[in-house]
Amino acid sequence: MSAAWRSDRRDGSPNRTGRLDMIVGPMYSGKSAELIRRVDLARRGQLSVRVFCPRRDTRAADRTISSRAGTHAEAIAVETSEEILSYVDSTVDLVAIDEASFFDLGLHPVARALLALPSWVVIAGLDLDYRGDPFGPVPNLLALADNVDKLSAVCVVCHDLHATRTQRLIDGEPAPDGAQIVVELSDDRVRYEARCGRCWVPPQFAAGGTQLPLTTFRASP
């Protein structure tokens, strides 16, 4: 596909359309590593690439995204999803966005605008939060996507290779229900783990949690 995306082939060909690839899964599943790998490939193929992350992602130094596997890519940290549009025009071949779950809901219309340019867009993010709820703009982006790669991690409890959940722990114990994005506790009290569906403790069953029936779902975050 890359050849069709080179800037020098921008000839108005009717074959050229926008494309959205999503990379989702729990924490530690390799989403950032996979996004960075695709960015590296595109750069090697001499495509023009822009990489974005939300500024609220405190792990990101302002000019890079990184994976726990140790790889990095230069990135632009933006305050709002709409800001992405000010850095992209039709000469950009690939727009890569990490930590999509921490963006505002406007990331969905922004992705539609990028596809209309047309751009090739690759977006990585958590599909579910630690409560098991769809996370931020990601569900709408999944609906829009041309391709979805749903990655899994290794369950830290039973070592199952198909961990699809993110467990939030406070002082080492499964966390009860709380805000979707947690800012009030200092980082050393809060940890996250990848867990399989059997080992993941939903917040309502954690000590101190509200016992909601399993059929209760939130309408919004």
Q: Give CA–CA dist 177/195, Å, rounded.
A: 17
Pairing of strands 19-24, 120-125: parallel
Contact 52, 63 (CB under 8 A): no
8/62 with CB nearer ligand ADP:
62
Which partner from the list ligand ADP, Mg ion, Zn ion, none does 117 bind, CB cut-off 5 to 8 Å by kind? none
Minimum Å distance from CB 13 to ligand ADP?
Answer: 34
Catalytic residue among 34, 74, 99, 173: 99
Q: Taking contact as CB under 5 A, which single stretch among the options 26-34, 135-143, 157-165, 212-220 is the one that binds Mg ion? A: 26-34
Contact 49, 39 (CB under 8 A): yes
199 touches Zn ion (CB under 5 A) = yes
29 touches Mg ion (CB under 5 A) = no
**Stretch 137-156 residues interacting with ligand ADP (CB under 6 A):** 153-154, 156
Q: Taking contact as CB under 6 A, which single stretch among the options 6-14, 27-35, 84-92, 177-185 is the one that binds ligand ADP? A: 27-35
Among residues 32, 66, 119, 166, the one that binds Mg ion under rule CB under 5 A: 32
Q: Is 83 a catalytic residue?
A: no
Minimum Å distance from CB 158 to ligand ADP?
Answer: 11
Hey, which residues are catalytic here?
99
Residues in contact with Zn ion by the rule CB under 5 A: 155, 157-158, 160, 196, 199
Binding footprint of Mg ion on the chain (CB under 5 A): 31-32
